[in-house]
Amino acid sequence: MFRPLPSLGLLDRVLRILFPGVLLLLLNGCASVSYYSQLAGGQLQLLRAREPVAEVIADPARDPKLRAHLAESQKARDFASRHLHLPDNQSYRLYADIGRPFVVWNVFATPEFSLNPQNHCFPIAGCVAYRGYYSQGAARGEAAIQRLKGLDVSIGGVEAYSTLGWFNDPILNSMTGWGDERLATLIFHELAHQRFYVQDDTEFNESFATFVEQEGTRQWRAFRGLAPDNGSRLAQRDQFIGLILDTRARLEALYAQPLTAEVMRERKAEAFERFRRDYRALRDRQWAGDKRYDAWVNAPLNNARLLPFGLYDQWVPAFAALFRQVGGDWVRFYAEVEKLGKLGAAERKSALKALANPESSAG
């Protein structure tokens, strides 16, 4: 049985022994200090805003809809530890209203004729394809600087993230606007990152967490006696991502050609227009005109906007196959995932390919 620590874990054991300050000492240069200062300040603000979910639920002065939403979230939180064998700690048993729609804004950047992201490396999380900012204004400022360098740039708001067990992560107000089931899936996803994480392998980490989220949600629905999701929205999402991945493949082939910048720029624009035509045809012929992705598609497109797609899904079939191999036993599944995580990067990728496509591997 979970027992809460006093004083929010003594503010997570004095902020993990003044962890933000240690980060600053590890870095050189004013730009680094400025960037990491805003990360440390943003994280500290978030931690200070936390309060126990149980207290919010019990307070009649709080918004009744929020109280009901949080009450449902705690059922999912209990299910995550008892049935999905995810960490049993204070994470997501706390609530924080940070007064904005996203907790951070990530800035992605690529060269004009490349899909290779600018990677940024951090002492704990390893290397990732973006820089995160707690202020939308700061993210826009960074994006403007990168555009002046001639890079393709995109900004994406993030509802939630995991500190990988370093702190007790709260349910944020940015996580509460999508309904009870969506909040449950976010909790499953973020707790999976706490359960296991490999430095410098975003595709592995996000695909693992996405599989846990999807299978966890399926089991959560069954546990509550609900009918299985018919999968229509997920199927549409998969088709949409497929179009984006096809566009990425065409752009990668284009950028490998020895063309002048002028011709390359022209054909790049043609590739994005083809994507828009393919999307509209799919929307009108198979989705009965559902326009949920119209705003994204009609906004200006560039390499950086394509970066997040595929990162969260690439190895989901491999993890699904692994889950079947262990007979749906979560404990055995996590043990096998940890074995994969200990492999070298090339060997791990080869093992995932074999899981996802056993026939081609056998041949």
Secondary structure (DSSP) of 82-119 = HTS----SSTTSEEE--SSS-SEEEEEEE-TT------
In a domain, 181, yes or no: yes
In a domain, 357, yes or no: no
Structure tokens at 259: 């063309």
In a domain, 306, yes or no: no
In a domain, 359, yes or no: no
Contact 100, 91 (CB under 8 A): no
Contact 342, 349 (CB under 8 A): no
In a domain, 42, yes or no: yes
In a domain, 345, yes or no: no
**What range does the domain containing 198 cover?**
7-223
Cα torsion at 176, 177, 179, 180 (round to 10°)? Answer: 0
pTM for this entry:
0.84
In a domain, 271, yes or no: no
Q: Which amino acid is at 225?
A: G
Number of continuous H segments (helices) and E segments (strands) in the chain:
15, 8
In a domain, 325, yes or no: no
Candidates 248, 229, 207, 228; CA nearest to 355 is 207
pLDDT of residue 123: 65
Q: How many domains does the chain contain in total?
A: 1
Each residue's pLDDT expressed in tens, for the chain with a length of 363 residues: 333 333 444 444 434 434 444 444 334 445 577 888 888 889 899 999 999 999 999 999 999 999 999 999 999 999 999 999 999 999 999 999 999 999 999 999 999 999 999 888 876 667 888 899 999 999 999 999 999 999 999 999 999 888 888 899 999 999 998 899 999 999 999 999 999 999 889 899 999 999 999 999 999 999 999 988 877 777 898 899 999 999 999 999 999 999 999 999 999 999 999 999 999 999 999 999 999 999 999 999 999 999 988 767 789 999 999 999 999 999 999 999 999 999 999 999 999 999 998 876 555
Structure tokens at 293: 């992705």
C-alpha to C-alpha distance for 299 and 280, rounded to whole angstroms:
14
C-alpha to C-alpha distance for 122 and 88, rounded to whole angstroms:
26
pLDDT of residue 230: 73
Candidates 2, 202, 177; CA nearest to 122 is 202
C-alpha to C-alpha distance for 322 and 352, rounded to whole angstroms:
9
Contact 27, 36 (CB under 8 A): yes
